[in-house]
Amino acid sequence: MSSPVVQLRDIRRTYISGELEVHAVRGISLDIHVGEFIAIMGASGSGKSTLMNTLGCLDRPTSGTYLLDGVNVADLDREARADLRNQKLGFVFQGFNLLPRTSALENVELPMLYAHRRVSASEMRRRAMAALEIVGLAQRADHLPSQLSGGQQQRVAIARALVNEPRLLLADEPTGNLDSKTSVEVMGVFQRLNEQGITIVMVTHELDIAQYCKRILVVRDGLVVRDEPVAGRLIASEELKKLLGAEAAAQLTSAPFGAK
């Protein structure tokens, strides 16, 4: 197997909260290889968010080494980490975090505006449209976030995360604000992307969502307590079919009562 995208060695993160030292992460070592699809699970306060922020170069570990694509992130300053986030990482947040009153297309173009290499306006547009195409929203490129449903907004956010062709896609509870059917749809997008070779790490606290991934890490008290492949992996397209079937059945049964 090729060298891992992410290599964490004995990562520790300690916050000073008043006079109290909080050990959020207490020595996590982890390899993530190309093409993996990992779910990080854990209760709130388990350290999974800190681990995620560390992976996302938003936070720096107190000690330990973090090699992203062979580069030690712990050595980098604020600006270099910003460039790393722009070039090698894609973020999907629970709250979507799209710019309000800004079209889907312009939201997706945003990371390219902050790229080091100048991208021409037409190239920017072409790549943003391609990314929207991948998440199936090309025909809604000129819609504002307020005109899109939650699932569609999250797909725009995924397109934005993809547009700079990152080495690693990080999703922090991407389905946290979505209903179950939309969640499955979004997981379907992730599965398709993963099949195309994109490495994905996501945080979730829903076990059924984690079942769509390939590998599950359980974090507790700042340590990885379980690390195992997913048994009985769910396939989003099949689950969606089941859901639609169930819906249709429900409608059929309710039809004689004239509900619809």
Q: Which residues bind another protein (CB under 8 A)?
A: 53, 56, 58-59, 78-79, 82-87, 91, 93, 97-102, 106, 110-111, 113-115, 118, 160
**Closest CB to another protein among residues 37, 91:** 91
How much helix, strand and coil, in percent to the nearest 5, is found in the chain?
40, 25, 35
Report in angstroms how near the CB of residue 60 gets to another protein at its nearest: 10
**Closest CB to another protein among residues 79, 228:** 79
- Contact predicate 47/217, CB 8 Å: no
- Contact predicate 91/56, CB 8 Å: yes
**Closest CB to another protein among residues 82, 240:** 82
Report in angstroms how near the CB of residue 101 gets to another protein at its nearest: 4
Question: Rounded distance, CA 256 to CA 8, Å?
Answer: 59
- Contact predicate 198/1, CB 8 Å: no
Residue 75 has φ and ψ, to the nearest 5°, of -85, -10
Question: Rounded distance, CA 152 to CA 127, Å?
Answer: 19
